[in-house]
Amino acid sequence: MNQIHIILFYKFTEIENPDEFVQRHLNFCINEGLLGKILVAKEGINGSLSGSQEQINKYKDYLTSQNQFSDINFKEEIGTFSPFKKMIVRQKKEIIRMDQDLDLKKTGKYISPQELMELYESDAEFIVLDTRNNYESEVGKFKNALTPDIETFREFPEALKSLEDKKDKKIITYCTGGIRCEKATSYMVKEGFTDVHQLKDGIINFCQQYPNTLWEGKCFVFDQRLLSLIDPDSEPITHCIHCNQSCDRYQNCKNPTCDDFIILCEMCSEDFNGCCSQKCVEEYKSHTIRKSRERQGYKSKEKAQGE
């Protein structure tokens, strides 16, 4: 079986002509047969790609040959299938959206995985803060971490208000690959937090160096895998929405008017037609019947016109 290499990367750096950058980047990736998604903005680049070892190495060489990306860090995993169906390079206003005016040269101090391990083993007082969305922290988090109840990163500034009285405390932020905690700490510094740190290269880097230690559960990723393969043996910290058995199988509710992310074991997914509730089961069945009748009616009409 051929191995698929998956890389995650970002860098905040000024890109003078994003339009031109996007087109050159897209052409290179398509020519090399890469799959994935890359966001480009004046503030930098944020992407994830998949391909063979040779394809990924060529991309790394291509990107790091450009002076401003010569020191970019790549987080790499091995998979058995490509988690992407096509190649997208898209220009955005921000490579990770927060809708805040920030000086990204002023961020929290980096803390390495080793330093985080030592901090947990010490008697020091500190706060570990998850900067990801609630459906991500639901399936995995660091031991004793604070997990804000946010659905998008744009909600982080509002959620941070709950820590107004902790501005002088030592706070360690983290996210999947590092990009969100970097922008989060920039906002925190702007808001007057005095001892802010960010986990260098995020959860993926930590779990590769220190598996089965401080990380609890699984790591959510924004591709077809939904859960990263860095910690396949870790025990789930979530339960099936129906039978309550230990489970970390994420899927969308099949009712198109709901479409919520839910934890659903395979047996209950079959019993409940992939839906989160009995109400959604009924709506999904009605939707399926309606669509089937529409298709049949369309075909009958076509047939009648042809006769």
pLDDT at 210: 94
* 128 and 57 belong to one structural domain: no
Co-location of 121 and 199 in the same domain: yes
Q: Are residues 19 and 66 in the same domain?
A: yes
- Answer yes or no: is 230 within a domain: no
Residue 228 inside a domain? The answer is: no
- The domain tally of the chain equals 3
pLDDT at 306: 52
198 and 250 co-located in one domain:
no
Q: For position 37, which CATH number holds?
A: 3.30.70.100
Average pLDDT of adjacent 10-residue blocks, the chain of 307 residues: 89 96 97 98 98 97 97 93 94 97 96 97 96 95 97 97 97 97 98 98 94 92 83 81 90 91 91 94 90 70 51
Rg (CA), the chain: 22
CATH classification of the domain holding 144: 3.40.250.10
**Closest alpha carbon to 176 in 212, 127, 227, 225:** 227
Instruction: Verify that 83 and 159 share a domain, yes or no.
Output: no
Q: What residues are paired with 252 via a beta bridge?
A: 261
Q: What residue numbers bound the domain in which 245 lies?
A: 238-307
| Domain C-terminal end among 44, 64, 91 | 91
Task: Classify residue 103: in a domain, yes or no.
Answer: no
Q: 18-25 contacts: CB < 8 A, separation 24 or more?
A: 18/42, 18/91, 19/91, 22/89, 22/90, 22/91, 25/89
- Please indicate whether residue 243 is annotated as part of the active site: no
To which residue do tokens 């750096």 refer? 13
In a domain, residue 34? The reply is yes
In a domain, 47, yes or no: yes
pLDDT at 81: 87
Task: Mark whether 300 and 247 lie in a shared domain.
Answer: yes
Same domain, 134 and 201: yes
In this prediction, residue 299 carries a pLDDT of 53
| Residue at 223 is within a domain | no
Q: Of 91, 124, 152, which marks where a domain is finished?
A: 91
The reply to whether 80 and 169 lie within a common domain is: no
Within-domain flag for 278: yes
Is 155 domain-assigned?
yes
Question: Tokens standing for 88?
Answer: 């997208």
* Domain shared by 8 and 61, yes or no: yes
pLDDT for 294 = 79
Among 163, 186, 217, residue at a domain's last position: 217
d(CA 37, CA 86): 8
Of the residues 29, 175, 207, 275, only one is catalytic, namely 175
Whether 202 and 143 map to the same domain: the answer is: yes
User: Is there a single domain that holds both residue 18 and residue 84?
Assistant: yes
Dist. CA 7–CA 116, nearest whole Å: 23
